Amino acid sequence: MSVLVRVPAKVNLVLGVGPRRDDGFHELATVYQAVDLYDEIRATARDDDRVTVRTQVEADGTGERTDVPDDERNLAVRAALALRAYADQPLGVDLAVRKSIPVAGGMAGGSADAAGALVACNALWGLGLTREQLEPLAADLGSDVPFLLHGGHVIGAGRGEQLTPVLAPTASYHWVIVTADDGLSTPDVYAEFDRVNVGRAVPDPRVPDELIAALRAGDPFDLALCLSNDLQEPALRLRPELRRTLEAGERAGALVGVISGSGPTVLLLCANAERATEVASVLAATDDYADVLQARGPVPGARVVG
């Protein structure tokens, strides 16, 4: 008996970062968009109470990924253990994760696997929890995990886990996504943010009204003027070469480039699907980048697909 779940990556259309809180997290004001770059999580029943995980990365062919942990540091494993503790039953599962979302890329790849494992195990074990019931477990696993259960366009507050859906018409936005070989650690980028802002009063972050208006209008040109990321400068201080990627993307015809979350993935917003294909082919032809992908958003969050 097994269940297959598909879970999208996230981009932050705006990522406003406030002061560091006493718990070590930063207050955020963000607008998430789920995009159609998916990890797949297959959960297969076991007749004992062990929880195991295998991870395969699409771009690496059939090889198993050695830098994604297969023990309790793996967020998918932690999600299954958290759900089992909540259910208070001796349940076991084999998790097989097929990754297309860049590892340590600032697109919530690890969080996606946690959200996917929650949804998959909930179905496999017949627990019948609603998304509202899964959300507190998701928030304990990571700031982006509740959003990945939800999908679409959502405003995130608190450390990112307090969600308010954005009511906007179903326009699609087209992205070119440029990945890097070496990931960036999210805590390192937040620490750099603290260093950049040492001695300054960091204001409370807010979502600009113009961004919500652009989403309501469904206009990529308006949206391009509003994209912003307070982690971009810290990420660029750690990886100055990404500035060239942003410039190359805009030269190739993207409306604007921005670092995704804590980086190092670069997001290029394009006017339409045709332009995204052109930009992707110009960048892919240079061989300068680990991978050049295309994605579209918004899409729904983690869902059972088989």
Q: Which sequence positions are flagged as catalytic?
A: 10, 144
| Residue nearer to ligand C5P on the CB measure, 148 or 279 | 148
| Residue nearer to ligand C5P on the CB measure, 69 or 253 | 69
Q: What distance in Å separates the CA atoms of residue 72 and residue 288, rounded to the nearest whole number?
A: 35
Answer whether 11's CB lies under 8 Å from 148's CB.
Answer: no
User: Any idea how long the chain is?
Assistant: 306
Per CB under 6 A, residues contacting ligand C5P are 24-26, 28, 142-144, 159-160, 186-187, 190
Work out how close the CB of 264 gets to ligand C5P at its nearest, in angstroms, rounded to a whole number. Answer: 15
Work out how close the CB of 247 gets to ligand C5P at its nearest, in angstroms, rounded to a whole number. Answer: 28
Q: Which residues have CB under 8 Å from 270's CB, separation 6+?
A: 174, 175, 176, 220, 253, 254, 255, 276, 279
DSSP 144-176: THHHHHHBSEEEEETTTTEEEE-------EEEE
| Residue nearer to ligand C5P on the CB measure, 37 or 114 | 114
Answer whether 128's CB lies under 8 Å from 8's CB.
Answer: no
CA dihedral sign, ordered 121, 123, 125, 131: positive
| Residue nearer to ligand C5P on the CB measure, 16 or 249 | 16
Answer whether 123's CB lies under 8 Å from 129's CB.
Answer: no
Within 10 angstroms of residue 262's Cβ, the number of other Cβ atoms is: 29
Query: 134, 135, 129: which is closest to 162 by C-alpha?
Result: 135
Phi, psi of 216 (to 5 degrees): -65, -35
CA-CA distances (angstroms) from residue 278 to 77, 126, 177?
Answer: 39, 46, 13
Which region holds residue 263: left if phi is over 0, alpha if psi is between -120 and 50, else beta? left
| Residue nearer to ligand C5P on the CB measure, 115 or 254 | 115
| Residue nearer to ligand C5P on the CB measure, 27 or 70 | 27
The SS3 call for residue 124 is helix
